[in-house]
């Protein structure tokens, strides 16, 4: 497993040294056991205030259990933490400033969208917030309709509206894009950005790493309840070196070039997709000229040479110790969505 | 303060048209059925009848107006238990409880406020049942030629008021059992099934096999409350014993609800 250089990452200690308010969430040794099973294992979190933090991990990694502990729905077995400056044990104090969508939107199907929010708003004396939050998520016109007539995207937006009821400083959104089409995902992404622009801290768990990469500045990765990575997305991406993608005129020449490259001490992975053969060379743009000269000397014509930066998905699988791409590692059953192609630039 | 808010919040759910029609309709149906069967089955006044037989002469007394309502105690209780269990267990089944607890983390206040709202809904249902009973009784009196002169007296109204009060107490008792089962079992379907099975067939079998147990079984005692006292237990004894039972299970439910992790 590749663990990034931790001294470059945010640690809970860093947050404790900073003035109050710099970290919206800090936990130290947060642990939750269910019998013999350890769902969350000595988790040290530090969520910077005002950030959009992605909370990533395979199914069963402990994300939702962690979120439930932060929201007072579960008691930690051990460990401590602070949310918005208050100890976890005093969750009744800070929850008035927290909005949450946990494990997808759950509502009474026969009640209207407005009445579902009214159930929650009346509990907290927030009647006046119902229509503004419905308007904010674009559901005001359908507010009187029963929730059972809503699409999944509308339910997700209603869930976000419910989370916005207390005008929260901290928004905790568990899988807000689950089941949404690309349009719905883009809409949620815009919303998340607007929340951060308003100065809110957003903690968003998602399987869609491409979405996390686009919207999150900070990232927490957990596996088996343990912290695997914590830091900026840029730091995680930097932990995985870029590669040169090379194609030649024909497959035989590409294979010959691979042997030449390995002969000079570089790694060259061969990827076959049908008849096409592509090389991924362990080098960045600065070695492109040397590679081209090697090919020319051998009489091989390079038709494509580009640097491909790693995607968050690749970096994620790297630190999880698996690689989902064919021929390059085990495609672990993480339930993680595709992250799309890597960013590339012509050298 | 939170109790009032929780009460008000629960009423948003209770005012659903479907619930009103379903619950009040079921209760009205039960009362109409028992009233019709009671009056239709009354023996004519002439001739000798075994002691305790309901006759048309008995029905023509001031208490005759509310006779059907009195007989429907167990069925109304079953409806009340089901509604309460569905309201509370449903929060777990639907997964909506976690939303409530994030907005109202003081769990005991939340459950007490929600419970009071459900009880107020059911007391309303008993009043509806009484109104429906009057209509059904008057209609059946015409059919069976029951003299209804005594039904409009102050004594009849007082009797009806007392029966409504007793019935409301009994229905609230059944509802509390339903709520507790909903909270403890965390599923509306299981809570309704367990509650109805316990209070109806299981208790009936036990009390038939060992009649002396009837004055200790909660379902039997709640039925005695609905009737203003019975051969098994006087009203006072039933009230005291059920109060102790209900207080005990409410404390258990509160402890479970406030201490358990919310995993749904």
- Residues in chain B with CB shorter than 8 Å from the CB of A100 are 102
DSSP per residue, A183-214: HHHHHHHHHHHHHHHTT-EEEEE-S-HHHHHH
Nearest Cβ partner for A102 among B16, B94, B98: B98
The CATH number for A243-346, chosen from 3.30.160, 3.30.1380, 2.40.128, 3.30.70, is 3.30.70
Contact status of B144 with chain A (Cβ, < 8 Å): no
Residue A107 to residue B110, Cβ atoms within 8 A: no
Q: What is the pLDDT of residue A66?
A: 94
Over residues B18-56, the pLDDT tens digits come to 888 888 888 888 889 988 888 888 887 666 666 667 788
Nearest CA in chain A to B110: A123
Domain residue limits, chain B: 2-259
What is the predicted pLDDT for the residue at B52? 67
Orientation angle between helical segments B218-226 and B154-185, nearest 10 degrees: 160
Give the residue from A170, A232, A234 showing the smallest Cα distance to A196.
Answer: A170
Residues B157-207: tens digit of each pLDDT: 888 898 999 999 999 999 999 999 999 999 999 999 999 998 888 888 888
Question: Are residues A73 and B98, on separate chains, in Cβ contact within 8 Å?
Answer: yes
User: What percent of chain A has pLDDT above 70?
Assistant: 85
The CB-based long-range contact list for B53-58 (8 Å cut-off, 24+ gap) reads B56/B144, B56/B145, B56/B146
Using CB atoms, pick whichever of A108, A123, A162 lies closest to residue B6: A123
List all residues 6 or more positions away from A253 whose beta carbon is below 8 Å from its beta carbon: A300, A301
Asked if residue A20 has pLDDT above 60, the reply is no
- Which residues in chain A touch residue B260, judged by CB atoms under 8 angstroms apart? none
What is the complex's ipTM, to 2 decimals?
Answer: 0.85
d(CA B177, CA B219) in angstroms, rounded, equals: 10
pLDDT tens column, A167-215: 999 999 988 888 778 888 888 888 888 888 888 999 999 877 777 888 8
Fold classification of A6-238 is Rossmann fold (3.40.50)
Residues 6+ apart with CB under 8 A from A206: A54, A55, A56, A175, A176, A177, A178, A212
- Identify the sign of the CA torsion B63, B69, B72, B78: negative
B13 and A CB contact within 8 Å: yes
Most confident range, picked from A128-132, A318-322, B14-18: A128-132
Strand order across the A276-281 sheet: A268-273, A276-281, A243-248, A302-308, A344-346
Quick: pLDDT tens for A310-319: 777 777 777 7
Interchain proximity B18–A110, CB inside 8 Å: yes
Check whether A120 has a pLDDT greater than 90. yes
Give the range among A5-14, A233-242, B63-72 with minimum mean pLDDT.
A5-14
CA distance B125 to B208: 31
Q: Do B5 and A125 touch (CB under 8 A)?
A: yes
Q: What is the pLDDT of residue B152?
A: 85
Residue A239: per-residue pLDDT: 67
Q: Which of A68, A108, A124 sits opposite B262 (nearest CB)?
A: A68
Rg from Cα positions in chain A = 24
Domain spans in chain A, listed from the N-terminal domain onward: 6-238, 243-346
The upper half-sphere exposure of residue A301, i.e. CA atoms within 13 Å in the direction of its Cβ, equals 3
Q: What is the secondary structure of B99-142 as a DSSP string? A: HHHHH---HHHHHHHHHHHHHHHHHHHHHHHHHHHHHHHHHHHH
Asked if B5 is an interface residue toward chain A (Cβ–Cβ < 8 A), one would say yes
Residue B214, pLDDT above cutoff 90: no
Tell me which chain A residues have a C-beta less than 8 angstroms from the C-beta of B95: 103, 106
The pLDDT tens digits of the residues spanning B104-156 come to 999 999 999 999 999 999 999 999 988 998 898 888 888 888 888 888 888 88
pLDDT tens-digit readout, A25-54: 999 999 999 988 999 999 999 999 888 999
Chain A residues with CB within 8 Å of chain B CB: 68, 71-75, 91-92, 95, 98, 100, 102-103, 106-108, 110-111, 115, 118-125, 162, 165-166
Nearest-neighbour CA in chain A from B93: distance (Å): 10
Q: What is the mean pLDDT of residues B233-260?
A: 92
Give the pLDDT of residue A44: 92
The pLDDT-based confidence of A265 (bands split at 50, 70, 90) is confident
Helices marked H in chain A: 12-17, 63-70, 91-94, 113-124, 130-136, 152-164, 182-197, 209-215, 233-238, 251-263, 288-297, 312-320
CA distance A120 to A122: 6
Interval A151-168 mean pLDDT: 91
| Range of A14-23, A278-287, A292-301, A309-318 with top mean pLDDT | A292-301
pLDDT, tens only, A46-79: 999 888 999 988 888 899 999 999 999 999 999 9
Residues in chain B within 8 Å Cβ distance of A106: 94-96, 98-99
Q: Which helix (H) or strand (E) holds B179?
A: helix B154-185
Interchain contact, B103 vs A107, CB within 8 Å: no
Roughly how many angstroms between the first and final C-alpha of chain B, as a whole number? 27
Q: pLDDT of A290-332, one tens digit each?
A: 888 999 998 999 898 888 777 777 777 777 666 555 444 322 3
**Mean pLDDT, range B93-104, rounded to an integer:** 91
Q: Which residue of A has its CA nearest to B95?
A: A106
Q: What is the mean pLDDT of chain A?
A: 81
What is the count of residue pairs from A and B with beta carbons less than 8 Å apart? 80
Helices (H) and strands (E) in chain B, counts: 13, 0
Contacts of B99 in chain A (CB under 8 A): 102, 106, 120, 162
The SS3 call for residue A67 is: helix
């Amino acid at each position: 497993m590749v663990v990034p250089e931790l001294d470059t990452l945010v640690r809970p200690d860093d947050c404790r040294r900073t003035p109050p308010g710099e970290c919206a969430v800090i936990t130290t040794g947060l642990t939750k056991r269910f019998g013999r099973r350890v769902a969350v294992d000595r988790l040290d979190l530090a969520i910077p205030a005002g950030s959009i933090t992605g909370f990533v991990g395979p199914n069963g990694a402990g994300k939702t259990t962690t979120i439930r502990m932060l929201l007072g729905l579960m008691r930690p077995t051990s460990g401590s933490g602070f949310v918005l400056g208050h100890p976890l044990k005093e969750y009744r104090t800070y929850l008035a400033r927290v909005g949450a969508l946990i494990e997808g939107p759950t509502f009474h199907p026969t009640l209207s969208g407005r009445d579902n929010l009214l159930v929650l708003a009346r509990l907290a004396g927030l009647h006046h917030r119902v229509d503004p939050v419905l308007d904010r998520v674009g559901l005001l016109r359908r507010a009187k309709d029963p929730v059972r007539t809503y699409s999944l995207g509308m339910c997700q937006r209603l869930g976000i509206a419910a989370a916005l009821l207390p005008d929260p400083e901290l928004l905790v959104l568990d899988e807000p894009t689950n089941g949404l089409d690309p349009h719905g995902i883009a809409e949620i992404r815009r919303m998340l950005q607007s929340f951060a622009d308003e100065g809110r801290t957003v903690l968003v768990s998602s399987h869609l790493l491409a979405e996390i990469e686009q919207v999150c500045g900070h990232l927490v990765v957990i596996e088996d309840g343990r912290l695997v990575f914590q830091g900026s997305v840029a730091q995680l991406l930097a932990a995985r070196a870029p590669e040169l993608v090379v194609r030649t005129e024909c497959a035989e020449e590409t294979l010959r070039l691979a042997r030449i490259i390995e002969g000079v001490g570089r790694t060259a992975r061969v990827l076959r997709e049908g008849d096409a053969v592509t090389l991924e060379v362990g080098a960045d743009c600065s070695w492109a000229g040397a590679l081209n000269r090697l090919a020319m000397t051998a009489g091989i014509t390079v038709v494509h040479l580009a640097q491909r930066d790693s995607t968050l998905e690749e970096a994620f699988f790297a630190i999880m110790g698996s690689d989902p791409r064919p021929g390059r590692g085990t495609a672990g059953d993480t339930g993680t969505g595709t992250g799309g192609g890597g960013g590339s630039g012509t050298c | 303060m939170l109790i009032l808010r929780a009460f008000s919040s629960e009423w948003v759910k209770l005012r659903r048209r479907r619930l009103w029609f379903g619950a009040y309709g079921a209760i009205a149906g039960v009362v109409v059925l028992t009233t019709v069967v009671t009056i239709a089955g009354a023996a004519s006044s002439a001739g000798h009848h075994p002691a305790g037989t309901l006759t048309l002469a008995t029905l023509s007394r001031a208490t005759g107006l509310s006779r059907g309502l009195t007989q429907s105690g167990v069925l109304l209780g079953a409806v009340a238990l089901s509604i309460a269990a569905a309201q509370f267990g449903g929060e777990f089944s639907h997964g909506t409880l976690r939303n409530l607890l994030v907005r109202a983390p003081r769990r005991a206040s939340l459950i007490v406020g929600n419970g009071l709202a459900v009880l107020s809904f059911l007391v309303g249902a008993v009043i509806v049942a009484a109104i429906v009973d009057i209509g059904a009784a008057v209609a059946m009196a015409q059919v069976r030629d029951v003299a209804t002169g005594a039904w409009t007296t102050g004594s009849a109204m007082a009797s009806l008021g007392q029966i409504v009060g007793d019935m409301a107490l009994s229905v609230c008792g059944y509802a509390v059992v339903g709520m507790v089962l909903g909270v403890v079992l965390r599923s509306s379907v299981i809570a309704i099934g367990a509650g109805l099975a316990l209070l109806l067939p299981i208790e009936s079998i036990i009390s038939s096999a060992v009649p002396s147990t009837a004055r200790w079984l909660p379902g039997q005692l709640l039925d005695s409350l609905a009737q203003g006292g019975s051969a098994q237990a006087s009203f006072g004894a039933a009230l005291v014993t059920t109060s102790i039972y209900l207080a005990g299970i409410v404390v258990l439910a509160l402890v479970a609800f406030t201490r358990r992790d919310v995993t749904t």
